[in-house]
């Protein structure tokens, strides 16, 4: 029974994560210059192009996360949650070592990554 509840929690976190990544992807595709500004980067056409490419990749990731959360087997949900747990933590770390000065946005962005990592940890390790 604990395994089933753990999978249900992981499905929930995957769905929420897919929504956050989906919204982020739209922002990156539509307005990469704003995102660069918030990160403290000087926006260039090349950097904006790269951000749009990341946005398109996040569309794929968010779709796959939602698909696994909605239709995946227990083992695939747990595996995806573990992958996302590590990825979200890495996103938090990478945001903190950004090659620009830390600001409210970058710190908040890092906290979102660490928060999702903690949520995936809670979802996969809590048995009751």
Q: Give the largest Cα separation in the chain, rounded.
A: 53
> Helices 104-125 and 74-96, interaxial angle, to 10°?
150
pTM for the complete prediction?
A: 0.90
Q: What is the pLDDT of residues 32-79, one digit of tens each?
A: 999 999 999 999 999 999 999 999 999 999 999 999 999 999 999 999
DSSP track, 69-88: HHH--HHHHHHHHHHHHHHH
CB atoms within 10 A of CB 58: 22
Smallest CA-to-CA distance from 62 within 22, 117, 89 is with 22
C-alpha–C-alpha distance, residues 27 and 17, integer Å:
15
Q: What is the pLDDT of residues 97-120, one digit of tens each?
A: 999 999 999 999 999 999 999 999
């Amino acid at each position: 029974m604990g395994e089933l509840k753990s999978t249900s929690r992981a499905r929930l976190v995957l769905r929420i994560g897919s929504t956050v990544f989906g919204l982020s992807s739209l922002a990156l595709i539509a307005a990469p210059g704003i995102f660069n500004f918030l990160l403290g980067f000087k926006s260039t056409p090349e950097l904006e192009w790269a951000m749009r490419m990341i946005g398109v990749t996040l569309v794929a990731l968010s779709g796959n996360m939602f698909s696994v959360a909605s239709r995946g087997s227990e083992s695939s949900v747990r595996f995806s949650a573990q992958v996302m747990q590590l990825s979200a933590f890495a996103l938090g770390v990478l945001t903190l070592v950004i090659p620009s000065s830390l600001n409210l946005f970058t710190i908040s962005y890092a906290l979102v990554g660490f928060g999702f990592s903690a949520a995936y940890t809670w979802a996969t390790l809590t048995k009751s």
